[in-house]
Chain A
């Protein structure tokens, strides 16, 4: 058993930028191959996931149940194309498995399932559960004197769910500073814009009012993301929320900030156009069809 985690991989900002383009191209290819929508929320999360998996989360490749791993719940399960692409790029799942995305009996269904992919710390797809689950894990890990951190990756839309705020209350009450919430604030929900539905109240102010330490960043700027992650926990004794301002469909002009791309599956022409704009190709090759 590895004694030290495979936590951080040295990479230049340029290399990270290139990786982000490849992951985006992979998301587009996955949407096309799997005939699945939910692309815009995948595209908005790319830099955040790369930064988390390459420079923050303690991972033990090949030892999925290692007690020292940081716990990670990708709560916005519908957007899992980016998660699968980053897991494959990071070597935590085989790259060739991406070609099975959303097909019969795949390890990579259209919403992540722990029964299909045991390395997940929880299944997702039903919104508003991720933050609560990691608070329970964090409470247990503290009893076990295990310093592993517990990260929930949330969409801004799923913060509509009241359960997110029950969890926020609990984490603050129990001073769970091993808990990190990353909010992918892309501004777009399923049928509308987040701020219109929430009254536009600031996420940072809301989490702070619940007793959290917070910081708002540009969720597409690796420098800002890495510097925020390096400062976690922001305050001892307080859970941390990073409010990452992002753009739905980021990186592809015709998808950016469009509610429509919560649903749409790209055509072959749109896939090629996306690759051209990104200047990148997917990290996997589609199998014979």
Chain B
């Protein structure tokens, strides 16, 4: 996804002359082409995430379209006050890019885990939160995010994630149907978890179970119209997220569910509200915390037995 991001960024910059890229000393060799082609629009502020936000905010106030870049945990929590006061409050067109969100850097320790980023960014008025799931969504959504001319949080995974196909194009602010199905269960997920969910889908279809799968690449604003429609079509919704239980996709959908007085059954799969201590490889961590493909498939199978 990082390669897809640097390519999408480069392409966007070739026809968007006011786009600037601001890194907090990260992205070794990933943005060399951009730097070479657009040297004045490439700024490395150093290990100074707060200053990165100031440069972006100041440039945006002067009519530029800055994109800031850091590892997701340092891109959000670290300069939160700068983002809140200097970007979201004045509603400036800054795109904040967080690389390697969730437990992408699981073995690097808690410092590098970004499982509160959606909560932090969603809490800010004016802020759009976009969590693409594969290189295709990066390429499709980045231009839409920049064109939205508002504050946005946009995430990028690491290198080499698989591309997935889908029933629909990725349209900003709209839930994206990845797989249709006749089973009265719908799975909602966001970001790179889509790949885990699609793996679960393969396990389930082999057993004749076909849940529909929606990728909510835009977590905020939440596509409640699609949720309302799906809620009338299925008996249960499964929400799979690599985020703490507070303030992520589950939290957003649960808020909608309560306000809409929906009676559809809801189930969350994702990490619990605690720090993931120790060195555990990403896939194993998902397995231990009960939201890997097998766990997702097992949950759906059980739901199908009780729902039908």
A and B from one complex: yes
Q: Chain A residues in contact with chain B, CB under 8 A? A: 114-115, 121-123, 126, 129, 132-141, 143-144, 162-163, 166-167, 169-170, 173
Residue numbers in B under 8 Å from A173 (CB-CB): 46
Please provide the chain B residues from 155 to 192 with a CB less than 8 Å away from any CB of chain A in the complex: none
Interface contact A135-B55, CB-CB below 8 Å: yes
When chains A and B are docked, how far (Å) is the Cα of A143 from the Cα of B64? 10
Residues of B within 8 A of A162 (CB): 50
Which of the residues B46, B62, B81 comes within 8 Å of A144, measured between beta carbons?
B62
Residues of B near A163 (CB, < 8 A) are 50-51, 54, 82
**Most chain B beta-carbon contacts within 10 A, residue among A129, A136, A143:** A136
Residue-wise interface mask of B (10-29) relative to A, using a CB-CB cutoff of 8 A (1 in contact, 0 not): 00000000001000000000
The answer for the CA separation of A133 and B57 in the assembled complex, in Å, is 7
We find that the number of chain B residues with CB closer than 8 angstroms to chain A is: 27
Residues of A close to B81: CB separation below 8 A: 126
CA distance A166 to B86 in the complex (A): 15
Q: Report the minimal beta-carbon distance from B151 to chain A, rounded to whole angstroms.
A: 14
- Say whether B89 faces chain A, with CB atoms less than 8 Å apart: yes
Q: How far is the CA of A121 from the CA of B58 in the complex (A)?
A: 9
Contact A122 B61 (CB under 8 A): yes
Q: A169–B44 Cα gap in the complex (Å)?
A: 12
Q: Contacts A114-B90, A163-B82: A138 and B48 contacting too (C-beta < 8 A)? A: no
Binary interface encoding of chain B residues 79-116 relative to chain A, with 1 for a CB under 8 A from any of its CBs, else 0: 00110011001100000000000000000000000000
Q: Is B302 an interface residue (CB 8 A)?
A: no
- Complex interface residues of chain B between 26 and 72 (CB less than 8 A to chain A): 40-41, 43, 45-46, 48, 50-51, 53-64
A169 and B46 contact, CB distance less than 8 A? yes
A136 adjacent to B48 (CB under 8 Å): no
In the complex, the answer to whether A133 meets B61 with C-beta atoms within 8 Å is yes
Q: Is the CB of A122 within 8 A of B90?
A: yes
- The minimal Cβ–Cβ distance linking A16 to chain B, given in whole angstroms, is 31
Question: What CA separation (Å) do A242 and B33 show in the bound complex?
Answer: 40
Select one of B55, B63, B85, B89 contacting A136, CB under 8 A: B55
The reply to whether A132 and B51 contact each other, CB–CB distance below 8 Å, is yes
- The answer to whether A132 and B50 touch (CB under 8 A), given A123-B89, A170-B45, is yes
Most buried by A among B48, B58, B59, B63: B58
Inter-chain CA distance A123–B88, complex, in Å, is 12
Can you spell out 17 A-B residue pairs with CB atoms less than 8 angstroms apart?
A: A114-B90, A129-B85, A133-B58, A133-B61, A135-B55, A135-B58, A137-B62, A140-B20, A140-B61, A140-B64, A143-B20, A163-B82, A166-B48, A166-B51, A167-B54, A169-B48, A170-B55
Determine the distance from Cα of A144 to Cα of B59 in the docked complex, in whole angstroms: 11
Which chain B residue lies CB-closest to A142?
Answer: B40
Contact A137 B51 (CB under 8 A): no
Which residues of chain B have C-beta atoms less than 8 A from A115's C-beta?
90
Chain B residues, CB < 8 A from A139: 43, 55, 58-59
Contacting pair B86 A122 (CB below 8 A): yes
Shortest Cβ gap from B46 to chain A (Å): 7
* A166 contacts across to B, CB distance below 8 A: 45, 48, 50-51, 54
Q: With a CB–CB cut-off of 8 A, which chain A residues contact B20?
A: 140, 143
Give, as a whole number of angstroms, the nearest-CB distance from B291 to chain A. 37
Alpha-carbon gap, A259 to B302, bound state (A)? 66
List 11 other contacts, CB 8 Å, given A114-B90, A140-B63. Answer: A132-B53, A133-B57, A133-B86, A136-B59, A138-B58, A140-B20, A140-B59, A140-B62, A167-B54, A170-B46, A170-B55
Q: Which residue of A lies closest to B58 (CB)?
A: A136
Bound form: Cα–Cα A114–B92 in Å:
12
CB-based closest 5 A-B pairs? A136-B58, A132-B54, A140-B62, A166-B51, A137-B58
